[in-house]
Amino acid sequence: MELVVLSGKGGTGKTTIATALCEINEKVVRVDCDVDAPNLYLYYDGEDIENRDFFKGKKATIDKYSCTECLKCEDICRFNAIKNLDIDKFSCEGCGACIHVCEHDAIKLEDEKTAQTFITKLDNGIISRAEMEIGSDGSGLLISDIRKNAKKFNVNNDLVIIDASPGIGCPVISSITGANMALIVTEPTKSGLEDLTRVVSLCSHFGIFTMVCINKCDINEEMSLKIKEFIKNENLKLVGEIPYDETVVKSINELKPITLYKDSIANKCIQNMWLNIKKLGGI
């Protein structure tokens, strides 16, 4: 069973809630699919038991001993990645045009390392995560890879909770593909409702069972009502309403899951929300 936690934008409380849901369950596999800015692992003291290089795409390199400095490669490169016979790795798209015009085989395409993937062992499960290289792309393929890593280590078929990237782009599509259900975390603002609309549309396209949580629900009760109306019209399930709680700020600053703060209102609401998720999702 895979539950993916989504949000239309960053800052809605998605990771706080994903971390809390992980802590409520005794055994769970955590997957941090927000590979551009991973932070789920920061809440834990774990041991990296696997560390691999991830390669995606290729970059051109010039062998200056074979190069005759004809500059045909510079002329053909539409990305302006070759200047003074040096290749800008950030501009090179690995298209191979320079190879075709080089008459002396001085240019080759080499595999490009774009990320590092990790399996981190915890007391109650693992985290499958990655750290991208500066300026790298291909995060969709990387997310598919770390999800496969999680399945490889999930020998007991434990619940998988995925902390996805915010938005609706390629990383999010890679995060939800094949998941059983989605929990969208939104907030009661005009942009929150608009972002929620887009994420719901994406989940609907992929036919994933979708639930919604309104975080900081009491900061704008009028917008909360509008979000509830949208949820009702879309035949979605509202599984939780979490009021604003200063303790959440404290938990973030101290890098501790909100579930450790027993008097926290947010903690109690998330606990109740999990009961609703279990009932609706058949967990």
- Residue 104's domain is classified under what CATH number? 3.30.70.20
Question: Do 67 and 104 belong together in one domain?
Answer: yes
Question: Do 202 and 247 belong together in one domain?
Answer: yes
Strand order in the sheet with 159-163: 47-62, 107-122, 125-132, 28-32, 159-163, 2-7, 181-186, 209-215, 237-242
Task: Answer for the pair 147, 18: CB distance below 8 angstroms, yes or no.
Answer: no
Question: Do 148 and 247 belong together in one domain?
Answer: yes
Question: Do 12 and 87 belong together in one domain?
Answer: no
Question: Do 72 and 135 belong together in one domain?
Answer: no
Domain total in the chain: 2
Question: Do 149 and 253 belong together in one domain?
Answer: yes
Structure tokens at 61: 């390199």
Question: Do 184 and 103 belong together in one domain?
Answer: no
Domain that holds residue 63: 56-113
The enclosing domain of 154 has a CATH number of: 3.40.50.300
Low-confidence ranges of the chain (pLDDT < 70): 137-138, 282-283
Question: Do 44 and 161 belong together in one domain?
Answer: yes
Question: Do 68 and 124 belong together in one domain?
Answer: no
Residue 32: count of CB within 10 angstroms of its CB: 28
Question: Do 195 and 268 belong together in one domain?
Answer: yes
Question: Do 50 and 89 belong together in one domain?
Answer: no
Structure tokens at 170: 């390629």
Q: How far is CA 160 from CA 11, 127, 167, 175, 270, in A?
A: 23, 10, 21, 12, 18
Boundary of a domain, candidates 72, 95, 113: 113
Question: Do 228 and 192 belong together in one domain?
Answer: yes
Q: How far is CA 74 from CA 50, 92, 95, 112, in A?
A: 41, 12, 13, 21
Boundary of a domain, candidates 76, 97, 113: 113
Q: What are phi and psi for residue 112, nearest 5 degrees? A: -105, 125
Boundary of a domain, candidates 97, 113, 129: 113
Q: What is the pLDDT of residue 138?
A: 60
